[in-house]
Structures are given as structure tokens and as C-alpha cells.
Amino acid sequence: MNTVRVKLPTHLRGLAHVDGEVELSVDGPVTQRAVLDALEQRFPMLRGTIRDTTTGKRRAFVRFFACETDLSNDSPDDPLPQQVTAGTEPFLVVGAMAGG
Amino acid sequence: MSGVRVLVGTRKGAFVLTADGGRRDWQVDGPHFGGWEVYHVAGSPADPDRLYASQSTSWFGQLIQRSDDGGRTWQQVDHDFTYEGGAGEHLWYDGTPRPWEFTRIWHLEPSLTDPDTVYAGAQDAALYRSGDGGKSWQELTGLRNHASGPRWQPGAGGLCLHTIILDPNDPNRMYVAISAAGAFRSDDAGVSWRPINRGLRSEGIPDPDAEVGHCVHRIALHPSRPDVLYMQKHWDVMRSDDAGDSWREISGNLPSDFGFPIAVHPHEPDTVFVVPIHSDSEHYPPQGKLRVYRSRSGGDEWQPLTQGLPQSHCYVNVLRDAMAVDTLDDAGIYFGTTGGQVYVSPDSGDTWAPIARDLPAVLSVEVQTLP
């Protein structure tokens, strides 16, 4: 079991009624999919806001960063960086800057 | 003393405006869901404390909120709007097939009798129903699966189902309007649908008698005479006396017959309100004068209503869902603008005053008449 830190954008923190980072327990390999599954299990109101409920694909204006790297287009089943797995760096869910 | 509650959806949140029956002194509460687009907020006719709100952004998608206390507190309900049986295809702007893709809910229409039943109109066009207060949604597939569905094309704002009307005298009869497919009627509670666009004429459609393809902006009816429908089309103001089976133009002396909202007086079935807009490329009032036009003859003859409205340098728009009427004895008329103003007339349109001047762009206005 790993404890992963997740940083949400303002709108999603509001929906989830949390301030600051979220800490999630992730069983098994720490991947995008595993982290998002754990996030949605703990905060069901976030279902569909980060990835499509039907296809599971990342929404177009949402990005995933960690360790100063854009992981948005990585496979959802790729292992996340070791620092994220170890909880020393957060997994960032970012609302893309768009719309002026 | 009775009062009113005005539900305002804007580009950056929802606002709840309340006043007593005099409608002179207003309390403004909000924003709720700040930073989110709220396309529509609607109250249940069966329980005025039950509200539903459509909340969305391009970033994080569609949510539905529900209030059980008149908008003081809200709880998120289900927002899983699935196209039953697969997406299928409609026509894109260029005439090529394109899969149905969900973007947002434009309009929520609570049941006239059951607070837990509510309908939702989607972009891309589909009609959903919840019978459990928004905890789950089911598509009424007969509409999207109509034989004309693969020929529906979006208007400039998208292929949106923006109008839902429930016939107060016949629980099986419903109307919807879709830009730019047209108007549809169901006589079996939404199971099957037929286009009701005969008599509409639309530039850009090669066939003048086209079954679908008309950019209907809004339809309204009076509950005492539900077979009479009034329509603001992209161009043309129209009327049907036979529940949509045929339409005739009633634009008459309007300075422009382009516009978005249309509303019927709560006590006078022949009194109709529109807001003429200069054109479809200039989405602002003619001559920079914000004028509501009122017909007291069921159309054709229109009178400008200007007192209290800006009559110079006004270049706002009034969107299709942004006009409403209350049911107090002295009828109140309300509308909101893309400039963030919400206006009220407490005397059937004779005089107007702003309730709020500086809200975000107003997408929708509904009003509840409270006991």
C-alpha cells in the first residue's frame, strides 16, 4: 500500500470539499489509472470531471504533471515516477490554461 | 405576503434574487458554483423549494446540483448522461457525418406534479429523464432515434436541445426544440416523437418544406390554451393554433424578427413578449436600444416597451432561456442580458427596473411565485 499525494485544481477541490493536497492509499502498482480510481472512490463527486465516465479517457482540458514532467499522454497503466509512489512528490491534476 | 424568487444562471455561477410581491427591493444571493457556467436553474412547480441546476465547464464537464431548501444549500446528484444504445451519427456543419458527443445540459424542466421527476435537454441533442430527484438519468431514446436524426445539424451554438415544454392539460404531451433541427412533439410521454415544423421557412435550407433543419430558438405556451404555441425562430416570430401541426408568421411590425426568447403573459394568453435583435451576425438590439416588444393580439401587432430600459449605446443580447414571467396578479416580466443585467417589470412590461446590473453574462432566468 502506497500513500500518494494528489493536488487538485481549485474547481475540483471545491467539489470535493477539500483544501490543499489529498492523500490517497493506493494498492498495487501506482499508475495514473490506480490513482484516479482511488481518487474517485474516495470522492465520487469527481467522477467524470477528470476522465470521461464512458471511455475513461482524460478530458481534453485536463493535464497530469509530476516531477516537473507532463505525463498527460502517457499510458494510464504506466508506473508513475518513484517520487510519486513514495509520496515525496505530488501527482498534479491541472486545468489547462485555455480560454483567455 | 407573497413573493418571488428569481433563479439566474450565468457564465460564472448562479444567483438567487428574492423580493416580496412589490418587487421593488431585492436581495441578491450568490454566486453559487462560482466560476462554473450555469446554463439553467429551474424550480419544481410541485415543490418550490426543490431546485435543479445545470453546472458545467469545458474543463471538468457536466454536473447537476439539486437544492431542497430553495437554493440555500445544494447537493451534487448524478451527472452520467449516456447515449443509450450507442452514439450514432448526425451531420456536422460541413454536412459530413459526426458521432453524437455529449457537451452539456442546456435546460432542465421539472415535472408539473412530481418534484422528483425532471427532464434535461442535452447538447448534442438528446432528452433525458430522472424519476428519482436526479440520482439517475435515462435517455428518452425515441427522440434521438427519430428517422430524421442522422440529418440533424448543429446551429452556431451547437446541436442543443434547449426547450422542453410539458403540456399542463395532457401528461402525455411534450414539446422540445433543437437548434438547428426544429421543433418536435410527443403524444405518448416522450416515447415517440414527430417533427412539427410545417410552415416554417428558413434561409439556407434548399427545400422550403423541409421536415427538419429549422433553427428554432424558443417556444412558449399559455397553460390555459396549450394548443397555441408561440415561437421565436432564428428569423421570424411564429404561431401555431394546432399544437404545432402548422405555423404562421406573426412578426408583423417588429423592427427585427430575429431574437432568442419568447414569453407569454401569465394571465393573458394573447399577450406575448419578444426581444428583437438586429441580426444573427450582430447579436445586439436594433439602434442600440434595448426594447421588449409586446403584442396583445397574439402577434402581428407589436408595441415597444422602453421605460426604464437603456435607449442608447446598448449592445447586449438576451439569450433564449433568459426571460420569464411570474404569476402574481400584477404580472412580473423578467429578463437577463449578456451584459450581466437582470431587469424586472412589475406591471406587465409597462415599466422596467434593474434588479442587478453587474452579474456575469446571463444565460438563463427563471422565476418562482412563492406563497
pLDDT tens digit string along A25-40? Answer: 999 999 999 999 999 9
Task: Say if the Cβ atoms of B61 and A45 lie within 8 Å.
Answer: no
Rounded Cα distance between B76 and B43, Å, is 16
Structure confidence at residue B79 (pLDDT): 94
Interface contact A98, partner B, CB < 8 A: yes
Residue predicted with more confidence, B177 or A97: B177
Of B35, B36, B59, the CB nearest to A59: B59
Q: Say if residues B212 and B195 touch (Cβ distance below 8 Å).
A: yes
Terminal CA-CA length for chain B? 7
Interface of B with A in 34-73 (CB under 8 A): 35-36, 57-63
pLDDT tens digits, residue range B56-92?
A: 999 999 999 999 999 999 999 999 999 998 889 999 9
Rounded Cα distance between A47 and B108, Å, is 21
Structure confidence at residue A98 (pLDDT): 65
Interface contact A55, partner B, CB < 8 A: no
From B146, B142, B106, select the one nearest B124 (Cα to Cα): B106
Mean pLDDT over B171-177 rounds to 98
Q: Give Cβ neighbours of residue B227 (< 8 Å, ≥ 6 apart).
A: B240, B241, B242, B243
Task: Say if the Cβ atoms of B58 and A98 lie within 8 Å.
Answer: yes
pLDDT tens digits, residue range B282-341?
A: 999 999 999 999 999 999 999 999 999 999 999 999 999 999 999 999 999 999 999 999
Other CB atoms closer than 10 Å to residue B191's CB: what's the count?
12
Q: Which three cell numbers stand for residue B287?
A: 439602434
**pTM for the model:** 0.95
Q: What percent of chain A has pLDDT over 70?
A: 97
| Statement: residue A54 has pLDDT above 90 | no
Rounded Cα distance between B203 and B137, Å, is 36
Task: Say if the Cβ atoms of A48 and B61 lie within 8 Å.
Answer: yes
Structure confidence at residue B38 (pLDDT): 98
Task: Say if the Cβ atoms of B63 and A62 lie within 8 Å.
Answer: no
Rounded Cα distance between B277 and B207, Å, is 26
The 3-state secondary structure of B102-143 reads: CCEEEEEEECCCCCCCEEEEEECCEEEEECCCCCCCEECHHH
User: To the nearest whole number, what is the mean pLDDT of chain B?
Assistant: 96
Interface test with B, best of A12, A53, A57 (most B CBs within 10 A): A53
Of A10, A45, A53, the CB nearest to B80: A53
Q: Give Cβ neighbours of residue B204 (< 8 Å, ≥ 6 apart).
A: none
Task: Say if the Cβ atoms of B59 and A95 lie within 8 Å.
Answer: yes
Mean pLDDT over B228-246 rounds to 97
Mean pLDDT over A52-69 rounds to 93
Please tell me the distance in Å from B56's CA to the nearest CA on chain A: 10
Q: Which residues pair with B89 in a beta bridge?
A: B99
Interface contact A93, partner B, CB < 8 A: no
Instruction: Look up residue B347 and give its DSSP letter.
Output: S
Task: Say if the Cβ atoms of B61 and A96 lie within 8 Å.
Answer: no
Interface test with B, best of A12, A45, A51, A55 (most B CBs within 10 A): A45
Structure confidence at residue B205 (pLDDT): 83
Rounded Cα distance between B284 and A36, Å, is 45
Nearest CA in chain A to B58: A61
CB < 8 Å to B63, chain A: 15, 45, 49
| Statement: residue A99 has pLDDT above 60 | no
Structure confidence at residue B34 (pLDDT): 95
Q: Say if residues A37 and A11 touch (Cβ distance below 8 Å).
A: no
Interface contact B371, partner A, CB < 8 A: no
Task: Say if the Cβ atoms of A49 and B82 lie within 8 Å.
Answer: no
Structure confidence at residue A96 (pLDDT): 85
From B107, B65, B33, B122, select the one nearest A45 (Cα to Cα): B65
Please tell me the distance in Å from B117's CA to the nearest CA on chain A: 21
Alpha-carbon dihedral sign for residues B298, B300, B301, B304 = positive
Banded model confidence at residue B203, pLDDT cuts 50, 70, 90: confident
Rounded Cα distance between B259 and B274, Å, is 7
From A34, A46, A39, select the one nearest A21 (Cα to Cα): A39
Task: Say if the Cβ atoms of B80 and A99 lie within 8 Å.
Answer: no
Rounded Cα distance between B311 and B289, Å, is 4
Mean pLDDT over B90-105 rounds to 95
Interface contact A62, partner B, CB < 8 A: yes
Rounded Cα distance between B244 and B45, Å, is 24
Structure confidence at residue B207 (pLDDT): 86
From B120, B138, B139, B132, select the one nearest B42 (Cα to Cα): B120
